[in-house]
């Protein structure tokens, strides 16, 4: 089953074309890793998929339901607010710099959207949050405020916050880039455990080794295009495209 | 007149000053938020003309933001002219400009209207500074979680904005305590007007000293209260 279809996505900022005809399909349980140099459009693609940016052309479809489509005359049409709200409940996004709500405790960060957006009962929301926090080894941090946590802990809380909403697909936008090397491990461990639970995930990352270990499909992007896609072995071990080879060389020779 | 009667009379005036102070805050703090929204409004109703980019005039017209412009003008007038003058315009304006006869009670209403309009402009700019300093990531996190725009503002943005702007608000509130004395411009007898009256009729400077002490302690109380508010918001960073 296709959880997400991004078809022929185009996006430009002014005269700068950032995404040029990108097509990505994500199946249920699939882990997709998107790699590529800075400015290649990886993050923009994620932001388009999560409706934080609007596309100029193309289609965004979640579970067979359109979020955006392009009509015959080339105009992009997004669904109405009601449907988009519905679509938003299908995905979660983990940001590079966490974006936790500083004035909410860990528990409230996780439960507030459940209660005030999904209208889950307060007790049930807390139950779900506690279970997830415990799974992430954060049970004793429930009453802490974000500033009291390390970067790694904050990122794990933001993963719990996204997970609590029960998304069909979870997006990660360079989830370890704001962390120092000592802390990336704990976050990667959490993401790995999610892949073991068959969570559908799309991960933009610079951690090549990690991508190789957990991804089912790797997309290599450059200059707003998908240069190469395939299994981690084919893209990361024996890339066919010269551009991919050049990019990966920098990672293999430190 | 003994010191005791001066103090009692001025204490009565102080109550009126406190009344101006309180009503001004009750009115201008919420109004300022709406003014701030207007100041940040980007509505460009003439944008459809922008398709024709050949003419510079049309380009200019198409970028006009009427709400923002209007609010900018309002703020610039409120900040650019003396509050004393604004009070006089509000008080005498209806009669001299519009020919509406005004009742005895209007003096008090004029004071309150003038103060609220003036302070809302200043508060609006403080709100704006706070709102615009919020990292965009907070809005994005809320959007992805499905919060509506109103929920995002009230639950996520506003509490953080309040923490950020509290020191600036304190400044303004303390200024307001002293500014209540400007009500003398339209002869509304709050504490300072009263002090002037007593001083000239009794040829003594004592009422000014007493009034000064009253203002000082009033502000000490305000500063103490605002610091408590700041401390209350210290639980997060």
Q: Do A52 and B163 touch (CB under 8 A)?
A: no
Q: CATH code at A21?
A: 3.40.50.300
Give the whole-angstrom CA distance, residue A215 versus residue A195: 9
pLDDT > 80? residue B49: no
Query: Among candidates B118, B111, B40, which has minimal Cα distance to B79?
Result: B118
Instruction: Look at residue B48 in the predicted model and tell me its pLDDT.
Output: 74
Instruction: Tell me if A91 is assigned to some domain.
Output: yes
| Chain A positions in Cβ-Cβ contact with residue B163 (cut-off 8 Å) | 103
pLDDT > 60? residue A149: yes
Give A129's pLDDT tier (boundaries 50, 70, 90): very high
**Local structure of residue A80 (DSSP, 8 states):** P
Kind of pairing, strands A57-62 and A31-35?
unpaired
Contact A146, A157 (CB under 8 A): yes
Give A143's pLDDT tier (boundaries 50, 70, 90): very high
Kind of pairing, strands A200-204 and A217-222?
unpaired
Q: Cα distance from A110 to chain B (closest Cα, Å)?
A: 10
Instruction: Look at residue A251 in the predicted model and tell me its pLDDT.
Output: 77
Instruction: Tell me if A188 is assigned to some domain.
Output: yes
Rounded to 5 degrees, φ, ψ at A43 are: -65, -40
Instruction: Tell me if A85 is assigned to some domain.
Output: yes
pLDDT > 80? residue A208: yes
pLDDT > 70? residue B135: yes
What are A160's two structure tokens? 């719990």
Mean pLDDT of A76-81: 95
Instruction: Look at residue A31 in the predicted model and tell me its pLDDT.
Output: 97
> How far is CA A101 from its chain centroid?
19
pLDDT > 60? residue A253: no
Mean pLDDT of B46-74: 82
* CB proximity B150 to A under 8 Å: no
Give the whole-angstrom CA distance, residue B173 versus residue A36: 53
Sequence-separated (6 or more) residues with CB below 8 Å from residue A202:
A4, A24, A26, A32, A34, A46, A49, A169, A170, A171, A172
If one counts every other C-beta atom within 10 angstroms of the C-beta of residue B136, the result is 9
If one counts every other C-beta atom within 10 angstroms of the C-beta of residue A238, the result is 10
- Which tens digit of pLDDT belongs to each residue from A12-26? 999 999 999 999 999
Instruction: Look at residue A158 in the predicted model and tell me its pLDDT.
Output: 97
Query: Among candidates B192, B226, B185, which has minimal Cα distance to B88?
Result: B185
* CB proximity A247 to B under 8 Å: no
Instruction: Look at residue A197 in the predicted model and tell me its pLDDT.
Output: 94
* Average of per-residue pLDDT values in chain B: 93
Q: Degrees (nearest 5) of the Cα angle B125, B128, B133?
A: 135
**Local structure of residue A146 (DSSP, 8 states):** G
Give the whole-angstrom CA distance, residue A9 versus residue A55: 7
pLDDT > 90? residue B63: no
By percentage, how much of chain A surpasses pLDDT 90?
Answer: 93
The answer for A 216-245 residues in CB contact with B (under 8 A) is none
| Chain A positions in Cβ-Cβ contact with residue B130 (cut-off 8 Å) | none
Q: Do B144 and A92 touch (CB under 8 A)?
A: yes
Mean pLDDT of B45-50: 76
* CB proximity B154 to A under 8 Å: no
Query: Among candidates B156, B176, B154, B158, which has minimal Cα distance to B166?
Result: B158
Give the whole-angstrom CA distance, residue A233 versus residue A22: 22
* CB proximity A133 to B under 8 Å: no
| Chain B positions in Cβ-Cβ contact with residue A149 (cut-off 8 Å) | none
**Which has more confidence, B63 or A80?**
A80
Instruction: Tell me if A130 is assigned to some domain.
Output: no
Rounded to 5 degrees, φ, ψ at A11 are: -150, 130
Instruction: Tell me if A132 is assigned to some domain.
Output: no
The secondary structure of chain B as a DSSP string is --HHHHHHHHHHHHHHHHHHHHHHHHHHHHHHHHHHHHHT----TTGGGGG--S-HHHHHHHT--HHHHHHHHHHHHHHHS-HHHHHHHHHHHHHHHH-----TTHHHHHHHHHHHHHHHHHHHHHHHHHHHTS-HHHHHHHHHHT--HHHIIIIIIHHHHHHHHHHHHHHHHHHHHHHGGGGGGGT--SHHHHHHHHHHHHT-SHHHHHHHHHHHHHHHHHHHHHHHHHHHGGG--
Q: Cα distance from A237 to chain B (closest Cα, Å)?
A: 35
Instruction: Look at residue B162 in the predicted model and tell me its pLDDT.
Output: 96
Q: Cα distance from B186 to chain A (closest Cα, Å)?
A: 45
Q: Cα distance from B181 to chain A (closest Cα, Å)?
A: 38
**Which has more confidence, B104 or A239?**
A239
- Which tens digit of pLDDT belongs to each residue from A41-57? 999 999 999 999 999 99
Lowest-confidence segment of A232-246, B41-55, B137-151 by average pLDDT: B41-55
| Chain A positions in Cβ-Cβ contact with residue B133 (cut-off 8 Å) | none
Give the whole-angstrom CA distance, residue B24 versus residue B143: 35
Instruction: Tell me if A155 is assigned to some domain.
Output: no
Q: Which H/E stretch holds residue A212?
A: helix A208-214
**Local structure of residue A244 (DSSP, 8 states):** H
If one counts every other C-beta atom within 10 angstroms of the C-beta of residue A42, the result is 25
The three-class DSSP label of residue A108 is helix
* CB proximity A161 to B under 8 Å: yes
Q: What pTM value is reported for the model?
A: 0.91
Contact B128, B34 (CB under 8 A): no
Domain extent for A69 = 2-102+169-252
Please state the ipTM of this predicted complex. 0.94
pLDDT > 90? residue A174: yes
In total, the C-beta contacts within 8 angstroms joining chain A to chain B are 58
Mean pLDDT of A61-71: 96
Instruction: Tell me if A142 is assigned to some domain.
Output: no
pLDDT > 90? residue A199: yes
Give A203's pLDDT tier (boundaries 50, 70, 90): very high
Q: Cα distance from A230 to chain B (closest Cα, Å)?
A: 29
Angle (deg, nearest 10), helices B206-232 and B3-39? 40
- Which tens digit of pLDDT belongs to each residue from B176-224? 999 999 999 998 989 999 999 999 999 999 999 999 999 999 999 999 9
Instruction: Tell me if A133 is assigned to some domain.
Output: no
Lowest-confidence segment of A93-97, B94-98, B178-182, B205-209 by average pLDDT: B94-98
Instruction: Look at residue B58 in the predicted model and tell me its pLDDT.
Output: 75
Give B52's pLDDT tier (boundaries 50, 70, 90): low
Q: Do A102 and B160 touch (CB under 8 A)?
A: yes
Q: Cα distance from B218 to chain A (closest Cα, Å)?
A: 31
Instruction: Look at residue A24 in the predicted model and tell me its pLDDT.
Output: 97
The three-class DSSP label of residue A216 is coil
* Average of per-residue pLDDT values in chain A: 95
C-alpha separations of B123 from A27, B21, B68 in Å? 52, 14, 16
Give the whole-angstrom CA distance, residue A31 versus residue A27: 8
Could you give the domains of chain B?
Answer: 3-40+69-235 (1.10.3720.10)
Mean pLDDT of B145-161: 97
Contact A128, A114 (CB under 8 A): yes
What are A234's two structure tokens? 């084919």
The three-class DSSP label of residue A154 is helix
Query: Among candidates B171, B161, B164, B188, which has minimal Cα distance to B19?
Result: B188
Among the partner-chain residues B145, B160, B235, the one whose CB lies closest to the CB of A117 is: B145
Instruction: Look at residue B210 in the predicted model and tell me its pLDDT.
Output: 94
Mean pLDDT of A178-189: 90
Number of structural domains chain A divides into: 1
**Which has more confidence, A49 or A74?**
A49
Rounded to 5 degrees, φ, ψ at B151 are: -60, -45
Instruction: Look at residue B50 in the predicted model and tell me its pLDDT.
Output: 65
């Amino acid at each position: 089953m296709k959880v997400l279809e991004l078809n022929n996505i185009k996006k430009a900022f002014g005269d700068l074309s950032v995404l040029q005809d990108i097509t990505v399909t994500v199946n249920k349980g699939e882990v997709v890793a998107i790699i590529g140099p800075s400015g290649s459009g990886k993050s923009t693609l994620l932001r388009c998929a999560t409706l934080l940016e609007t596309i100029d052309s193309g289609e965004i479809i979640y579970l067979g339901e359109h979020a955006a489509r392009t009509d015959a005359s080339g105009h992009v049409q997004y669904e109405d607010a009601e449907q988009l709200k519905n679509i938003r409940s299908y995905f979660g996004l983990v940001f590079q710099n966490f974006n936790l709500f500083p004035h909410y405790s860990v528990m409230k960060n996780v439960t507030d959207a459940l209660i005030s957006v999904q209208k889950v009962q307060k007790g049930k929301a807390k139950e779900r949050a506690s279970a997830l926090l415990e799974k992430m080894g954060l049970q004793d941090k429930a009453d802490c405020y974000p500033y009291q946590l390390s970067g790694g802990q904050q990122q794990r809380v933001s993963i719990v916050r996204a997970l609590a909403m029960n998304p069909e697909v979870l997006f990660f936008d360079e989830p370890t880039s704001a962390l120092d090397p000592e802390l990336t491990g704990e976050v990667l461990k959490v993401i790995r455990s999610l892949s073991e639970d068959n969570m559908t995930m799309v991960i933009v990352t610079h951690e090549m080794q990690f991508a190789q270990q957990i991804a089912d499909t790797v997309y290599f992007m450059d200059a707003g295009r998908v240069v190469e896609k395939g299994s981690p072995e084919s893209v990361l071990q024996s890339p066919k495209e010269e551009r991919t080879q050049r990019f990966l060389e920098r990672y293999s020779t430190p | 007149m003994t010191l005791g009667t001066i103090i009692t009379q001025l204490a009565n005036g102080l109550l009126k000053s406190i009344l101006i102070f309180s009503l001004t805050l009750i009115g201008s703090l919420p109004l300022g938020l709406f003014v701030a929204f207007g100041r940040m409004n980007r509505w460009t109703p003439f944008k459809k003309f922008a398709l024709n980019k050949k003419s510079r005039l049309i380009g200019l017209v198409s970028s006009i933001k009427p709400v923002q412009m209007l609010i900018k003008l309002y703020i610039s007038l409120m900040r650019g002219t003396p509050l004393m003058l604004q009070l006089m315009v509000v008080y005498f304006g209806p009669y001299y400009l519009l020919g509406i006869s005004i009742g005895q009670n209007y003096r008090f209403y004029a004071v309150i209207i003038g103060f609220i309009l003036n302070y809302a402009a200043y508060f609006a700019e403080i709100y704006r500074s706070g709102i615009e300093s919020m990292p965009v990531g907070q809005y994005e996190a809320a959007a992805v979680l499905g919060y509506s725009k109103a929920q995002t503002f009230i639950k996520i943005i506003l509490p953080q904005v309040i923490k950020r702007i509290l020191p600036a608000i304190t400044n303004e509130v303390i200024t307001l305590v002293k500014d209540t004395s400007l009500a003398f411009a339209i002869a509304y007898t709050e504490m300072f007007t009263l002090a002037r009256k007593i001083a000239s009729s009794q040829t003594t400077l004592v009422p000014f000293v007493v009034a000064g002490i009253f203002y000082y302690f009033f502000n000490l109380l305000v500063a103490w209260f605002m610091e408590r508010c700041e401390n209350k918001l210290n639980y997060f960073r």
